[in-house]
Structure 1
C-alpha cells in the first residue's frame, strides 16, 4: 500500500514513511492510493476481538511491517486499556454509546495515540535517528500524545495548547508529565492559532527536515487509520445485538478526524447508512454540510473545548474525495479558503453536500440539558462532547438503522460542566491522583518564530 498527497505533488511512499512524514511536503495530507474493499471480509471480521480486528484492518494499510511485528505493536498498545473489550458499547435509551475513554488519559485519542507512540518507537529502532514531535491540542490530543511517547528513547514531544482554554484537568494531564522528553507550551491564543503555528512550521520543509519534526495530530495518517477500527467493531456488536442490516454513527466533531475515520470505514464497505456530524457553537462543519459553504468564524470558548475549532485539519482529506480525487481542483479550493476565508461546493440534487452526512449543532444550554436528562432518565453521565453528539443524534433517529453515539471522553475530565448540569462532580481515580501533582509548562506568545526558536533551543 502506497501513500500520496491530497495536493498531488509528492511521489508515492510506503506506510512507515507516511507515519514519519506527517504533513506532506507540498502542504497536503497523506492518503492511501486506493481504499481496499473489505465487503467480503465483514462476516469473518465480526467474530474477532478488538485487537484481532485492529490487526486485520491495519495490516491492509501497513504492508511494509511484518505481521508478527504489527501484531505485537497492536497487542502492546491496547494492553494499556482498562476494559477487556477496549472500546465497549452500552445501551443507553435509544442509543448505543460507544465508550472510547478506557485508555490511560480517558479520551478517545488514546485509541490512536497509544498505537502511534509505539509505532514511532518501532520505526526509530529499525531505522535509527531521532524524532521531535510538534503538536497542537484543544484538550485531549495533547495528553494522549504525551502519554503515548513519554520516556521513549529518541523521541521529544512539544505540545502547544491555548492558554486557559482547555479544562483544568485536561491541562493537568499534560503538564504533570515531567519526563525529560516532554515539553508543554501554553500559547497566548486559540487552538486555531496553535494549529496554524504547527502547520506553518511543518510547511517550512528545510526546518522540518533539519530538526526531524513529526506529527501526532490527526494530520498523521496512522491516527485516522487506528480510529477506523472502532467503527467496524461497534457496528458488528450493534448489528449482532439488533439484527439490523445497517447502522448510523453520531460523532462530536471538531477537527474532522474522528468522523473521517467513519467515512473511510463506510467507503471500505461497512454498512453505515448515515454519519451524523455534531458540532457545538463552533459550527463551521455543520454549516458546510448544510449549505456547501465552508467559511471561517471566530472560535468561541465552550464547555466542550476539544470542539472549539474553526479550521478542521482533516477536512481536506474529505474534500479530496468529494472532488473526485482531483488534486488540482482540491488545491484551487484550499487556495480560495486561504485567500478569502471561504470555499464553496455545489449541493447535490437532494439539496445537501453529501447524502451520507447529516449535520447539526448543540449549544451550551442544549448540552447541559442533555447531560442532566440522561443522568435522570438512564443514570448515565455523558461528558459535554458526547452530549453534543447525543443531542444532535436525537434529531436523526432511524427506525431501521440503530444509532451508535461516540463517547469521546470520561465525564470526570470536565468537572465544572458536570456540576453545572447535574449538581455534583463525577470522579475517576486517575484524575483524582492529579490534584496535588507537580506541573511543568511554559507560556509563549502566539508567534511561529518564537515557537521555532524554542524548538531549536530544546531539541
Structure 2
C-alpha cells in the first residue's frame, strides 16, 4: 500500500516510511493511495472476531505485507494485552436508543491509548528492524501526551518530547504526563493554548532539514497510523450491535476537537461499514460545527471549557477530509491550504457544502449543557459520563431518530475530569492508579510559546 500527500508534492511512500514521515514533507497529510473496499461477506466473516483479531485484519489491509503477518500479530497482541477489559473497547447499553463505546480501558484511562499503544510498539519495532533513532515530538490537549509517553517510556532507541499548554489541561492529565521520570521523556509546559502547541509542532515538522537532522517522528494524529488504529473500534462496536440485531441504522456520535477520531469513522464508512450517521460533537470551540452548518472554517476566540481536550480551534486532521471532499484532488487542497495560511479561513458552498452536510451532522455543546447531561445520565441510569463523552451524548440526543441507535464514543474515564464532576456534587472514587499520582513528584520544563524556545529544548534533549 502506498501513501500519498494531500498536497500531492511528494513521491508515494510505503507504510513504514509514512509512519516515520508523520507530516508529509510538502506540509500535507498522508492518506492511503486507495481505501480498501470491504464486501458484505467480509463484514459478516469479521463479525465474531475478537478486538485484536479484528485489528490484525484491518491493519493488514493497509500494511499490505510490509510487516510479516506473524510479526504484526505480535505487535497487535502486545498493544492490546494490557487493557483492563477483555473486550478492549466494550459497548454498554444506556437505553434503547443509546449505547456507550468505552474507549478508556487502556493504561492512561483515555481513548488515545488504543492508537498509541500500537504506535509506541510499532516505533520500537521499526527502531530495532532498521537500527534507527526515533525522536518523537508531539503536542497534547491532555490525553495524547500521557498515552504517548506510556507507549514508549523506557524503550531503547526512542526519546519523546511532549508539549502541553501550561495550566490548560486537567490536573490528572498533567500528573499522568509529568510524574514520569524516565530518561527518555521530556515534558514541556508551553505558555499558550493547545493551538499554539500544535502550530509549533507542525511548523517544526515542516522544516524538513530540522526534522531530518534530529530524526523527528510524529505521535499526533497527523500520523496516519493513528487514524488507521482508530478505525478498528468503529467496526468492533458496529459488530456488537449487529449481533444483537441492531445493525440496521447505527449512528456514531463522536466528541472531537482535532477531527481525528471522527475522521477514523469517516474512513470506516468509506471502507464499507454501513454507518448511518456520523455525528460530530464539539464544545464551545465550535469551528467544526460552523463548517458543517455554514461552510465556513475559521478559527475564533479560544474558550476554556469543562471538556478541555476539545478546546481546539485548528483541527489538524481537517485537511484529510478536504482531500476527499474535493474528489482527491491534491492541487485543489494545496490551493485551499495556501489560501487558509494567507486569509485564515476556508469557505465552501454549493455541492461541496451539501456533501459535507451529508457526511456529518454537527452540534456544539455549551458548558452548562455539558454539565446537565452528566447530571441527567447519572440520575436516570447511574452511568457517569466524563465531560467530553457528555458532549457526544448531548449531540446524540439531537440527531437520533426513533428507529435508530446511536453509539456515543466515551473518550476518557470520568476520574480524569473530577474538577467538572464535583460541580454537580457527584462523588466518585478514582481508580487506584489515578489516586497514586498525587503523591509523586513532577518533572516538566516551562517554555515560551515560540518555535525557537521549543527547538532549543529539543536540541538539548535529542
Normalised by the length of structure 1, the TM-score is 0.98
- Please give the secondary structure, in 2, of the residue aligned with 1:381: coil
Cα offset for 1:351? 5.1
CA offsets, 1:308-336, max 9 Å, x none?
Answer: 00000000001100000111110111112
**2:368 is the counterpart of 1:365:** yes
Which 10-residue stretch deviates more, 291-300 or 265-274? 291-300
CA offsets, 1:352-395, max 9 Å, x none?
Answer: 63312100011110000000000000000000000001001100
- Assess, with a 3 A threshold, how the Cα gap between structure 1 residues 341 and 240 changes in structure 2: closer, same or farther: same
- Please give the secondary structure, in 1, of the residue aligned with 2:328: coil
Matches within 5 A, 1:79-118: 79-93=81-95, 94-118=97-121
- Assess, with a 3 A threshold, how the Cα gap between structure 1 residues 23 and 247 changes in structure 2: closer, same or farther: same
Q: Is the 8 A contact 2:283 2:307 kept in 1?
A: yes
Equivalent position of 2:16 in the other structure? 16
> Equivalents in 2 of 1:348, 1:379: separation in Å?
44
Q: Is the 8 A contact 2:136 2:160 kept in 1?
A: yes
Cα offset for 1:131? 1.0
Normalised by the length of structure 2, the TM-score is 0.98
- Assess, with a 3 A threshold, how the Cα gap between structure 1 residues 422 and 62 changes in structure 2: closer, same or farther: farther
**2:460 is the counterpart of 1:439:** no
Equivalent position of 1:31 in the other structure? 31
> Equivalents in 1 of 2:262, 2:328: separation in Å?
19
Matches within 5 A, 1:193-272: 193-272=196-275
Q: Is the 8 A contact 2:252 2:406 kept in 1?
A: yes
Equivalent position of 2:75 in the other structure? 73
CA offsets, 1:199-253, max 9 Å, x none?
Answer: 1100110000010000000000000000000000000101221333231100001
Q: Is the 8 A contact 1:291 1:347 kept in 2?
A: no
CA offsets, 1:386-410, max 9 Å, x none?
Answer: 0001001100012333100000000
- Assess, with a 3 A threshold, how the Cα gap between structure 1 residues 184 and 350 changes in structure 2: closer, same or farther: closer
> Equivalents in 1 of 2:229, 2:453: separation in Å?
33
- Please give the secondary structure, in 1, of the residue aligned with 2:407: strand
Cα offset for 1:424? 2.1
Q: Is the 8 A contact 1:411 1:426 kept in 2?
A: no
Q: Is the 8 A contact 1:161 1:185 kept in 2?
A: yes
Equivalent position of 1:309 in the other structure? 312
> Equivalents in 1 of 2:410, 2:206: separation in Å?
33
CA offsets, 1:85-142, max 9 Å, x none?
Answer: 0000000123110000000000000000000000000011000121111100000000
> Equivalents in 1 of 2:111, 2:3: separation in Å?
25
**2:336 is the counterpart of 1:346:** no
> Equivalents in 1 of 2:159, 2:353: separation in Å?
49
Q: Which runs of 4+ in 1 moved over 6 A?
A: none
Q: Is the 8 A contact 1:6 1:31 kept in 2?
A: yes
> Equivalents in 2 of 1:272, 1:360: separation in Å?
18
- Please give the secondary structure, in 2, of the residue aligned with 1:406: strand
Question: Structure 2, unaligned stretches of length 5 or more?
Answer: none
Cα offset for 1:429? 1.3
Q: Is the 8 A contact 1:291 1:352 kept in 2?
A: no
Equivalent position of 1:56 in the other structure? 57
> Equivalents in 2 of 1:444, 1:363: separation in Å?
31
Cα offset for 1:433? 1.1
Matches within 5 A, 1:274-293: 274-293=277-296
Q: Is the 8 A contact 2:326 2:352 kept in 1?
A: no
Equivalent position of 1:381 in the other structure? 384
Q: Is the 8 A contact 1:371 1:422 kept in 2?
A: no
- Please give the secondary structure, in 1, of the residue aligned with 2:438: coil
> Equivalents in 2 of 1:251, 1:375: separation in Å?
20
Q: Is the 8 A contact 1:7 1:330 kept in 2?
A: yes
> Equivalents in 1 of 2:262, 2:214: separation in Å?
32
Equivalent position of 2:298 in the other structure? 295
Equivalent position of 1:427 in the other structure? 430
Which 10-residue stretch deviates more, 203-212 or 341-350? 341-350
- Please give the secondary structure, in 1, of the residue aligned with 2:346: strand
Cα offset for 1:350? 8.7
**2:1 is the counterpart of 1:6:** no
Which 10-residue stretch deviates more, 421-430 or 391-400? 421-430
Q: Is the 8 A contact 2:126 2:132 kept in 1?
A: no
> Equivalents in 2 of 1:334, 1:67: separation in Å?
38
> Equivalents in 2 of 1:387, 1:426: separation in Å?
19
> Equivalents in 1 of 2:216, 2:2: separation in Å?
21
- Assess, with a 3 A threshold, how the Cα gap between structure 1 residues 256 and 349 changes in structure 2: closer, same or farther: closer
Cα offset for 1:426? 4.0
> Equivalents in 1 of 2:351, 2:381: separation in Å?
39
